[in-house]
Structure 1
Amino acid sequence: MNQISAFPAGPSRPETVMFQRQELNEILALYGRMVAAGEWRDYGISSLRDAAIFSIFRRTAEQPLYRIEKRPRLRAKQGQYAVVGMDGQILKRGHELRTVLRVLERKLIRAVE
């Protein structure tokens, strides 16, 4: 008797997008500086099928202040990295993570002054 499966053969979970070690090092370096300045207090990381998201919180119970997103499908178009504000507005998008994170580093300079 032949059985037809709704799930394809292979791994039981679909592939997810994740940050690579170097990407996380860059993000966490900025995060550490902002925590030291008293601006940020918590973070969360989500790995989804189409995106990896690093969410930054002032307090744990709030919605994120910023989201750093990696969307590989946009690599050839606008760039796979983006910083998104609390209201959903894209603050910066680009092909290189370091360049995209500069929009948040400017906020660190204002916090320290």
Structure 2
Amino acid sequence: MSEGSAGAGEGDASAILIPLQEARRERLGMPVSFDRRELDLILRLYGRMVAANEWKDYAIDHLEDRAIFSVYRRASEVPLFQIVKDPKLAKRQGAFSVIAAGGRILKRGHELARVLGVFDNRLKLVKA
């Protein structure tokens, strides 16, 4: 094997792209957070659901390994849904997921807008 081919192999290993904000966050030990674009998508959905009288309150948690947007019908209850950003899963299943109250994952993916699409066609309980 020549030196040129060995250099090409090493070049492939260093070609992995890591977002600058993620590298900085890990280096400084900062918690994971939603960026402005992600929060905009989430809060637009939240506004629609509040207008439809489905959701009443929310909480945002920025943890060391993930960020969580929890949605409540009432502040005293457990969250109805959690929108989670977990950067460690970004290369595998996708960094974003929607989790129901029982812990069941409703949708997971790489793009937040697609994951939030799970709320578009949601069946609603009709009280008789």
Deviation sequence 1:40-88 (CA, Å, 0-9, x none):
0000000000000000000000000000000000000000000000000
Aligned to 1:104: 119
SS at match of 1:106: coil
| Displacement over 3 Å in runs of 4+ | none
Larger of the two Rg values belongs to structure: 2
The alignment status of 1:71 with 2:89, answered yes or no, reads no
Aligned to 2:100: 85
The alignment status of 1:62 with 2:77, answered yes or no, reads yes
Aligned to 1:32: 47
The one-letter amino acid paired with 1:32 is: G
Larger relative contact order (C-alpha < 8 A, sep ≥ 6)? Answer: 1
CA distance in structure 2 between the aligned counterparts of 1:58 and 1:45, rounded to whole angstroms: 15
The CA RMSD measured in Å over matched residues stands at: 1.5
SS at match of 2:48: helix
> Which sections of structure 1, spanning at least 5 residues, go unmatched?
1-12
The alignment status of 1:14 with 2:29, answered yes or no, reads yes
CA distance in structure 1 between the aligned counterparts of 2:45 and 2:121, rounded to whole angstroms: 11
Alignment: residue pair count: 98
Alpha-carbon deviation of 1:15? 1.4
Identify the structure with the greater helix proportion.
Answer: 2
CA distance in structure 2 between the aligned counterparts of 1:104 and 1:19, rounded to whole angstroms: 19
TM-score (norm 1): 0.83
SS at match of 1:33: helix
SS at match of 1:76: coil
> Which sections of structure 2, spanning at least 5 residues, go unmatched?
1-27
